[in-house]
Copies of this chain bind each other. A is one copy, B any other.
Amino acid sequence: MDEVMAQVVPKFLRLYEQHFGIKPNSEDYHGKKLYQLPGAKELREALFAKGFFRDLPVMPGSQEVIKELLEDYEVFVVTAAMEFRNSFEDKYDWLQEHFPFISWKKVVFCGYKSVIRADYMIDDHVHNLEAFEGKGLLFTATHNVDENRFERVNNWEEVRQFFEREKSKS
């Protein structure tokens, strides 16, 4: 979900500005999460608050492309929510609001994603893709721009194109 279906960076940019009184430069958080900037560690605490995950903007294109993928694939939403007890209802409600066409049967809240069995995984974290036995696609986010161990998709249009190529192969 986060940084793939839901945009998290805009909220952290706002929190950063509230906290430090200045906007960070995008070069400063290249290859990082915003809370990995010097002195910003405590911003991560926001993830534990009720409401944090409820009003995140939808990643452009995700709704349309997932709807299309549902015609050919069994699509599961798998999110590493388990660290954040207060995120469960927010994440559930957010999905109901923005992705009502995804059944609760296909939603997974987990910790480690190593327990997931699937053919493809689209994720912004290399450590999730490393533990995955299927084909991993790295969805571009500020913190992974320097990674080159996985095939990269920069946006949902590129996800669509990837699966079109897969389809033409079979």
Chain A interface (Cβ < 8 Å from any Cβ of B): 76, 78, 81-83, 85, 88-89, 92-93, 103-112, 114-118, 133
Dominant secondary structure of chain A at its interface with chain B: mixed
Q: Which residues of B contact A118 (CB under 8 A)?
A: 115
Identity of the chain B residue whose Cβ is nearest the Cβ of A80 in the assembled complex: B105
Q: How far is the CA of A115 from the CA of B117 in the complex (A)?
A: 5
CA distance A47 to B81 in the complex (A): 22
Within the complex, what minimum Cβ distance (angstroms) separates A94 from chain B? 12
| 20 interchain pairs, CB-CB under 8 A | A78-B115, A82-B92, A82-B104, A82-B105, A83-B104, A83-B105, A85-B89, A88-B89, A88-B109, A89-B89, A104-B111, A105-B112, A108-B108, A108-B115, A114-B117, A115-B118, A116-B116, A116-B117, A117-B117, A117-B133
